[in-house]
């Protein structure tokens, strides 16, 4: 059991890593599925398993989509970034045990999908997810920058907007995806936010390189 329960209307940085640095996203479809599931499982009591929902939507049956839209949300998605071996989320809890329920459903569902697709057995994630309370608006702003720069820090892309599996392009108003609830606490327009993120890009990359050398 989590020693300190997560509280409603509080915001948390959530991170979940794969076992032993195992690569858990191996294709665009894997990333896309996880992003879709984040949107699906944030709702309380989804009507069916995600695989059933996805199959119905692909056949043009939209009654489940309407039913899902009437369900209250367990948590608000503030920002996210999917990396090859882990995921970062910034969430605000809206319902009692909302984040824990959301993460359990999300991680278990993805594990079933991944193990079935890649003929694998056993757990995929490294224990329980980690959570850190975001206490101030300034912390929140800097945290969004940190997770949006993760792909450049790990040299996956040159620019954060080139990584299709984070909320960065939503923040810049360049994405058709509308997964995040962009809060007033991030009080920057898209142009100013882009400058804010880019001002730290090289520094964060350098820190990542130093950390890697120390771990070696």
Structure confidence by residue, pLDDT tens digits, 119-132: 999 999 998 899 99
Instruction: Please report which confidence band the pLDDT of residue 206 belongs to, taking 50, 70 and 90 as the band edges.
Output: low
Contacts of 160 (CB under 8 A, 6+ apart): 148, 149, 151, 152, 166, 168, 197, 198, 201
**Nearest by Cα to 11 from 195, 136, 147:** 136
Q: What is the mean pLDDT of the chain?
A: 89
Structural domain includes residue 5: no
Q: What is the pLDDT of residue 215?
A: 39
* Integer Cα distance of 216 and 204 in angstroms: 19
* Integer Cα distance of 117 and 209 in angstroms: 33
Task: Average the pLDDT over 168-189 and give the result.
Answer: 88
Contact 194, 170 (CB under 8 A): no
Task: Average the pLDDT over 105-126 and give the result.
Answer: 95
pTM equals: 0.90
Most confident of 118-122, 139-143, 187-191, 203-207: 118-122
- Helix locations, the chain, DSSP H: 28-41, 50-58, 63-69, 98-117, 137-148, 150-153, 168-171, 190-198, 201-215
Proportion of the chain above pLDDT 90, given as a percent: 66
The pLDDT tens digits of the residues spanning 27-57 come to 999 999 999 999 999 999 998 899 889 888 8
* Higher-scoring residue by pLDDT: 188, 72: 72
Structurally, the chain folds into a number of domains equal to 1
Q: What is the pLDDT of residue 214?
A: 43
Structural domain includes residue 15: yes
Structural domain includes residue 190: yes
Q: Which residues of 46-72 are buried (b: 16+ CB within 10 A; e: fewer)?
A: bbeebeebbebeeeeeeebeeebeeee
Structural domain includes residue 24: yes
Structural domain includes residue 2: no
* Integer Cα distance of 108 and 58 in angstroms: 22
Query: Which helix H or strand E contains 14, and what residues bound it?
Result: strand 11-17
Report whether pLDDT(114) > 70: yes
Report whether pLDDT(180) > 80: yes
Q: What is the pLDDT of residue 207?
A: 54
The pLDDT tens digits of the residues spanning 159-172 come to 999 999 999 999 99
Structural domain includes residue 3: no
Least confident of 2-6, 79-83, 142-146, 149-153: 2-6
Q: 166 lies in which domain range?
A: 11-215
Q: What is the pLDDT of residue 122?
A: 92
**What CATH number is given to the structural domain containing 116?**
3.30.70.1290
Phi and psi at 182, nearest 5°, equal: -75, 110
Structural domain includes residue 192: yes
Structural domain includes residue 6: no
């Amino acid at each position: 059991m989590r020693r300190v329960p997560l509280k409603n209307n509080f915001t948390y940085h959530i991170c979940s890593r794969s076992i032993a640095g195992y690569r858990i996203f191996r294709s665009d479809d894997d990333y896309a599925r996880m992003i879709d599931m984040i949107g699906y499982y944030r709702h309380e009591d989804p009507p069916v398993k995600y695989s059933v929902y996805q199959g119905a939507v692909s056949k043009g049956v939209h009654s489940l989509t309407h039913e899902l839209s009437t369900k209250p949300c367990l948590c608000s998605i503030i920002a996210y970034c999917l990396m090859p071996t882990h995921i970062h989320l910034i969430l605000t809890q809206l319902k009692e045990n909302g984040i824990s329920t959301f993460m359990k459903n999300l991680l278990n569902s993805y594990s079933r999908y991944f193990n079935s697709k890649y003929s694998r057995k056993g757990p995929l994630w490294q224990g329980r997810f980690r959570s850190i309370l975001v206490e101030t608006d300034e912390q929140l702003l800097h945290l969004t920058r940190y997770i949006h720069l993760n792909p450049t820090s790990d040299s996956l892309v040159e620019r954060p907007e080139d990584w299709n599996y984070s909320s960065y392009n939503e923040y810049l108003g360049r994405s058709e995806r509308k997964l995040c609830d962009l809060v007033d606490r991030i009080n920057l327009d898209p142009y100013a936010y882009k400058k804010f993120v880019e001002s730290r890009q090289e520094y964060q990359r350098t820190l990542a390189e130093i950390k890697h050398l120390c771990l070696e």
